[in-house]
């Protein structure tokens, strides 16, 4: 049976590209309206996995998904880095000079600021999804509207690319996670000789001077390399924070195991979110 | 001459409430369309200060403003914590049963999820501003639309509050900064006997294991209390980060001064964003 992999957005979304990369070309990507729907689809077994964006090199973290990782009991099984290329897309026959309004997701609009500065006659308009904005301008064409989305979205909806790669910064990558239900049989991927692994976790500290420093010492004292740390507000405790942290290492290796034992001593709360091969 | 204090949003925005608190009841709040406009208005001298939201206890940091603090050379002169109370607001004569659609800023809509779950007949619709959504439903009343905003916004536009305090969580506060142009004469506020001060800064580390740990040791070894740390992507260097950090202490005290000297040794880049009395 082919694996159903849920993602947020319309067909043609960058998350769909990530789903194929993470779960293989023979998986069946299933579009969902919200990130919460995506998590629920795996939790309730309707999908066997999910592809979610977690951070972008320009925009930063997708905080809603960090919060949902804590709310739902899913495991990170893989990561991949997708280069984001934004294109100005319009229905066939619409010329660039006719475009008065461009729809896209706010993140995509923000990543094409220079394009809008150079074309002040074009009004940017927020839409819920990049690929969805292509679908919309194709279905209800006023003849003067365009969308910003992937080449994949243009192809799927039979639109035309008017301008390629209009993003401000080529160093524009999004990191996606593959999420699955935790399995009791094997909670961690096999330790393979050559591969490098990453472990993601979330913890909170007691509200005292030096608490974060003490927590990070668990990793620094063992020469473990942190690749990301992200703080989020702790609900119900104003001005206290949760920390999401990624480090290079496998749960079954000695140093990471000892570091997590050490962190558990100094943290108020600690949860492992997953252990997975370092993505490309 | 009365001080002009810029803020993002329409009259009645929570930022306007913050402006009065930060700059005094006799200041003149000046509404602006974007956060960038707010920063520019102080940079170019059209306003003497600005009130900007920097974090919310439920939603987290306002990352755009963290990025703008780095882009512009303004100084944080004060902070204040505003309790966020969201109200369902409609034009006079519109009854709750008639409401089919509610407009507000996405953050406000997100903070009233329970209200929308309990009232599935009401569609939530994204608008650029909370107070602006009240203005809009008052100016173009289809008779079935409401807005979510402050009591202040309802008063200003002559609307009515249909339901008070519909936010999910009462522990909903936003922290605002008062920004001014840095003055060469006195870059730091006076050290007063009884008051506590906070210092905000931004730094980047060399990309090596333990770099963040080393940076935080500058504070931990001097028992300085970190109240916030926030990571943001470093532009042009994918998967490297800037760190924004707040700690309790005044720049002219010995321990903070030594800590900053120590941090400068281990950081790639370091900039002080301001030193100001701890807010309430």
- pLDDT tens for chain B, 280 residues long, are 799 999 999 999 999 999 999 999 999 999 999 999 999 999 999 999 999 999 999 888 999 999 999 999 999 999 999 999 999 999 999 999 999 999 999 889 988 999 999 999 999 999 988 999 999 999 986 789 999 999 999 999 999 999 999 999 988 999 999 999 997 444 445 555 547 999 999 999 987 788 999 999 999 999 999 999 999 998 888 888 999 999 999 999 999 999 999 999 999 999 999 999 999 8
Helix then strand then coil, in percent of chain B rounded to 5, is: 30, 35, 40
Laid out side by side, the sheet with B145-149 consists of B123-126, B101-104, B145-149, B87-90, B160-163
Task: Give the number of other Cβ atoms within 10 Å of residue B268's Cβ.
Answer: 14
Cβ within 8 Å, pair A60-B217 = no
Which residue ranges make up each domain of chain B? 4-84+172-180, 87-163, 197-277
| Spatial separation of the C-alpha atoms in residues A268 and A250, rounded to whole Å | 23
Domains B4-84+172-180 and B87-163 fall in the same CATH topology: yes
State the pLDDT at residue B158.
96
| Spatial separation of the C-alpha atoms in residues B112 and A129, rounded to whole Å | 22
Architecture of the domain whose range is A87-163: 3-Layer(aba) Sandwich (3.40)
Cβ within 8 Å, pair A233-B59 = yes
Which residues, given as ranges, of chain A have pLDDT below 70?
141, 184-194
State the pLDDT at residue A190.
52
- Catalytic status, residue A176: yes
State the pLDDT at residue A58.
84
Confirm if B51 and B18 have CB atoms less than 8 A apart.
yes
Which residues sit opposite A202 in a β-bridge? A244, A271
State the pLDDT at residue A54.
97
**DSSP states of A79-135:** EEEEE---EEEE-TT--GGG--EEEE-HHHHHTTHHHHHH-TTSEEEE-S-HHHHHH
Confirm if A99 and A142 have CB atoms less than 8 A apart.
no
Confirm if A253 and A261 have CB atoms less than 8 A apart.
no
Cβ within 8 Å, pair A171-B238 = yes
Which residues sit opposite A75 in a β-bridge? A180
| Spatial separation of the C-alpha atoms in residues A84 and A109, rounded to whole Å | 13
- Catalytic status, residue B247: no
| Spatial separation of the C-alpha atoms in residues B213 and B203, rounded to whole Å | 13
Q: Which of B35, B115, B176, B243 is catalytic?
A: B176
| Spatial separation of the C-alpha atoms in residues A48 and A44, rounded to whole Å | 10
Query: Which region, left, alpha or beta, applies to residue B50 given φ > 0 means left and ψ of -120 to 50 means alpha?
Result: beta
Task: Give the number of other Cβ atoms within 10 Å of residue A197's Cβ.
Answer: 21
Chain length of chain A: 280
Counting DSSP H helices and E strands in chain A, the numbers are 9, 15
Tell me the chain B residues in contact with residue A103 when contact means C-beta distances shorter than 8 Å.
Answer: none
Write the burial class of residue B144 (CB in 10 Å: 0-12 exposed, 13-18 middle, 19+ buried): middle
Chain-centre distance of CA A195, in angstroms? 22
| Placement of tokens 């006799």 in the chain | B26
| Spatial separation of the C-alpha atoms in residues B146 and B132, rounded to whole Å | 12
Cβ-Cβ contacts under 8 Å for B10 (sequence gap 6 or more):
B31, B129, B131, B132, B134, B135, B153
Residue A192 in contact with partner chain B when CB distance is under 8 A: no
Decide which of 1.10.10.10, 3.30.930.10, 3.30.470.20, 3.30.70.260 is the CATH code for A197-277: 3.30.70.260
pLDDT digits (tens, 9 = 90+) for A166-200: 999 988 999 999 999 997 444 445 555 547 999 99
- CATH 3.40.190.10, domain A4-84+172-180, yes or no: yes
Residue A93 in contact with partner chain B when CB distance is under 8 A: no
Which residues sit opposite A4 in a β-bridge? A28
Confirm if B255 and B226 have CB atoms less than 8 A apart.
no
Chain-centre distance of CA B10, in angstroms? 15
Those of residues 195-224 in A touching chain B at CB distance below 8 A are 209-210, 212-214, 216-217, 219-220, 223-224
The candidate with the shortest Cα–Cα distance to A114, out of A71, A37, A169, is A169
The partner residue sitting opposite A58, judged by closest CB among B230, B235, B241, is B235
Of chain A, the percentage scoring pLDDT greater than 70 comes to: 96
Return the axis-axis angle of helices A211-220 and B211-220, rounded to nearest 10°: 140
Q: Are strands A267-277 and A197-205 parallel, antiparallel or unpaired?
A: antiparallel
Q: What is the pTM for the complete model shown? A: 0.86
| Spatial separation of the C-alpha atoms in residues A268 and A4, rounded to whole Å | 36
Q: Which tokens in the block code for residue B104?
A: 């507000």
Confirm if B23 and B178 have CB atoms less than 8 A apart.
yes
The partner residue sitting opposite B235, judged by closest CB among A126, A169, A173, is A169
């Amino acid at each position: 049976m082919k694996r159903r992999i849920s993602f947020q957005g319309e067909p043609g979304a960058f998350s769909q590209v990530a789903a194929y990369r993470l779960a293989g070309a023979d998986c069946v990507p299933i579009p969902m309206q919200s990130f919460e729907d995506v998590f629920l689809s795996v939790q309730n077994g309707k999908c066997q996995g999910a592809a979610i964006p977690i951070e972008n090199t320009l925009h930063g973290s997708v905080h809603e998904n960090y919060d949902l990782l804590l709310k739902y009991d899913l495991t990170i099984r893989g990561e991949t880095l997708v280069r984001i290329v934004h294109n100005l897309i319009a229905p066939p026959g619409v010329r660039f000079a006719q475009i008065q309004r461009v729809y896209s997701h706010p993140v995509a609009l923000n990543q094409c600021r220079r394009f809008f500065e150079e074309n002040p006659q074009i009004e940017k308009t927020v839409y819920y999804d990049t690929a969805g904005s292509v679908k919309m301008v194709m279905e209800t064409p006023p003849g003067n509207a365009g969308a910003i989305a992937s080449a994949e979205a243009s192809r799927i909806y039979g639109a035309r690319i008017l301008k390629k790669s209009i993003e401000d910064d080529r160093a524009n990558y999004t990191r996606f996670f593959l999420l699955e239900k935790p399995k009791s049989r094997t909670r961690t991927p096999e330790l393979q000789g050559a591969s490098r692994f990453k472990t993601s976790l979330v913890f909170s500290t007691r509200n005292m001077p030096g608490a974060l420093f003490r927590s990070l010492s668990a990793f620094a004292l063992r020469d473990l390399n942190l690749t990301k740390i992200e703080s989020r507000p702790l609900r119900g405790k104003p001005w206290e924070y949760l920390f999401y942290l990624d480090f290079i290492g496998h749960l079954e290796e000695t140093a990471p195991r000892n570091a997590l034992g050490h962190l558990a001593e100094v943290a108020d709360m600690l949860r492992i979110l997953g252990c997975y091969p370092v993505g490309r």
